[in-house]
Structure 1
């Protein structure tokens, strides 16, 4: 709800606000997809019930949740709907969303761009003040 509200506010705001939003979406889309990077031993964690769903499933859930907002606001997110056979037993074909640009993977192996360092500093600032504290 929070991101939906901000997307609407920026997309329907001034022309400059919309332009900056569109530029940010195009630039950061591969990074957003990178959150769902598959990782070693994912299958083991799924089989043990530690993970509820595979990275691919989580990505589809996320794409499905944001696609209506993106479509409604006519934002330039590179998504396409494709048919995939055999997704559900009771259907021959199921529609899924797929990005037309590749995800930027590597974060799980510590490969980050320079902007991430600033973000990481902000995200971990309070924890670093007192690592022994219970948050």
Structure 2
């Protein structure tokens, strides 16, 4: 089945950057179902994935209305080509171990919480309403992930080594979260939402406090810049989409 065609309106793309980050992170969290280290965590990760899917559904429905091409949430979720997904690259990286997952959740939940807080004042009334519910979920995700980061970072020699390795692997991808382009500038100028870069100082302060509590050092930021928010992804994105889109593309329009 051919991929759908979508527009390039900056309002639409701003919504996709947020919805796709939630959607792809949810897909990665779903991979822990039946594999988490304890039963309680298996349930917690699955529930957080469901929260993110709910956020993505609401955002994709709104994005479809803004795009005006008649695409619903399912078509936007499953029938776009790889280059039309605008999630942060951080969300698409492979599942990794439990330390990697907890740290990634902390990084993205902190950002999402800050975004949702600001988006409650969006000039897009529907986006503001979505944000009012989502911010509560993001606060819980941040708290839950942060507790594990501290527990593992300040734990045994092995748990600390795993958390330090996860930090070294993940941190280079955080620069992309605060890269600014015309989509961000339009959002700020129109009152749609903040530039993600406007949240960097607050995000960094919260992450530094968390990492200090875990007795972990913030790595230096290098020159590397990932580009998933602009539709240019890592080699991992094609694999996750092949799995995520398989049923819809094999049985177009299928319903339960």
TM-score for the superposition, normalised by structure 2: 0.36
Which runs of structure 2 are paired with 1:41-56 in the superposition (5 Å)? Answer: 41-51=183-193, 53-56=194-197
Q: Which has the higher helix share?
A: 2
Match of 1:73 among 207, 214, 219: 214
Measured in 1, the distance between the counterparts of 2:147 and 2:244 equals: 22
Match of 1:110 among 207, 219, 231: 231
> Do structure 1's residue 28 and structure 2's residue 199 form an aligned pair?
no
Which runs of structure 2 are paired with 1:54-133 in the superposition (5 Å)? Answer: 54-78=195-219, 100-102=221-223, 104-117=225-238
Cα displacement string for residues 90-127 of structure 1 (whole angstroms, at most 9, x for unaligned residues)? xxxxxxxxx533452311222222344455678889x9
Aligned position for 1:93: none
1:30 positional shift: 1.5
Which secondary structure state, in structure 2, belongs to the residue aligned with residue 76 of structure 1?
coil
Unpaired stretches in structure 1, ≥5 consecutive residues:
79-98
Aligned length: 112
Give RMSD over aligned pairs.
3.1
Relative to structure 1, the CA distance from residue 109 to residue 26 in structure 2 (aligned partners, 3 Å threshold; closer, same or farther) is: same
Match of 1:5 among 147, 164, 178: 147
1:55 positional shift: 2.2
Cα displacement string for residues 17-46 of structure 1 (whole angstroms, at most 9, x for unaligned residues)? 111110111111011332222122322221
Q: Which has the higher strand share?
A: 1
**Worse overlay, 33-42 or 67-76:** 33-42
